[in-house]
Amino acid sequence: MNSYDNSSIVFIFCGQATLWKTMALELYSGNRIFRESMDRIDNYLKINYFDGESMLNKLRSLGDDESPNKDQYLTHSVLFMFQVSLFELYKSEGVNPSFIYGVSCGEMASLYCSGALTLKSACDLIMDRAKLLDVVLKKCPKGFSFFGSIGCDDFIKNYSKKYPDVEIGGRHTDSFTLFGTCNSEQFEQVFKELNENGIQTKRLNTQIPFHTSVIDCVKEDALKIKDIEFNEFSFKIPTYTSSNGKIYNENNPFNIFRSIRDCLCTKVAIEDILRTLESNGKEKVIFVELSPHPISSPYMFEIVKTFKSTIFTTTSNIENNPNVIALSSLNKNNNDNIHFNEILEILKRNL
């Protein structure tokens, strides 16, 4: 486990919930290490998988209202190169994680950065996963995914009978859940009712209801793809999967169908990481989200609060001498380079 005296860093590799054509453009223009890593992976993909077409150029060429998520090959490729390049940039600054948590589409980059996959094996996995989700998109072209500030149990108790086609896709915290459906009428109705009841919602810019039964349409093809098995020497950095919230090891291989179908288990993974850090005598944990905009980092404090740790007690970044810090590498409302440098300063000040 990488150690900074009594502190530890956890890298969270986000899924594809927030991508857009100019994401990380300022960082790409202003940071040589990030740019060279992006170009290296883009060129590798261009030569070996896309017949000379640059996915980075394709992203930048999208219309202002076009979403990368409509092309799963593009989405998987740009998220992978972005996250790997951020990882390399942090590494160049001496920032190394004790644990990694990969969320859904972010798992390919998390497995590569952990040392468990080669670049080729990671990119092969990207192509397989994108192909499966591209089929889902064609079979269900009008799906919906959205976040709601409500716990799974509360939703099941108060809304599931009325909206049976709205499924739970991710159990992030006790009051933050991912939902998905292909029933447009039920989506519109539940979205409206939740908002009327004071429950915040946010629709994702995608037509795939991730991690719901809709994904079952590709189960047969997905199960033909061999699991990626690991051993005790596979990982340089211990890595958790969002499929079951457990650490990857010889008893917990990567299964591509589970990576797109299983309900996300963020709370389970983060609580196990906290438990391990406590047992190793750590007194401070810093969550760093490798994302172009905050997704997971804002709800880390809720997980910490409900975990009821006697060591990790911080419930916001603004507390004095916090023992839990949650940061997002970039924020679309801020200049990339300024924001990233501020994150670095916070990290170096707290390590």
Q: For residue 3, what pLDDT is reported?
A: 52
Domains of the chain, earliest start first: 7-140+216-349 (3.40.366.10), 144-206 (3.30.70.250)
What are the pLDDT tens digits along the chain (351 aa)?
Answer: 455 678 899 999 999 988 999 999 999 999 999 999 999 999 999 999 999 999 999 999 999 888 898 999 999 999 999 999 999 999 999 999 999 999 999 999 999 999 999 999 999 999 999 999 999 999 988 899 999 999 999 999 999 999 999 999 999 999 999 999 999 999 999 999 999 999 999 999 899 999 999 999 999 999 999 999 999 899 999 999 999 999 999 999 999 999 999 999 999 999 999 999 999 999 999 999 999 999 988 899 999 999 989 899 987 787 788 899 999 999 999 999 999 999 999 998 888
Listed residue (298, 288, 285, 300) closest to 327, CA to CA: 288
Listed residue (173, 73, 170) closest to 127, CA to CA: 73
pTM of the shown model: 0.96
Token pair 């919906």 in the structure block, residue: 144
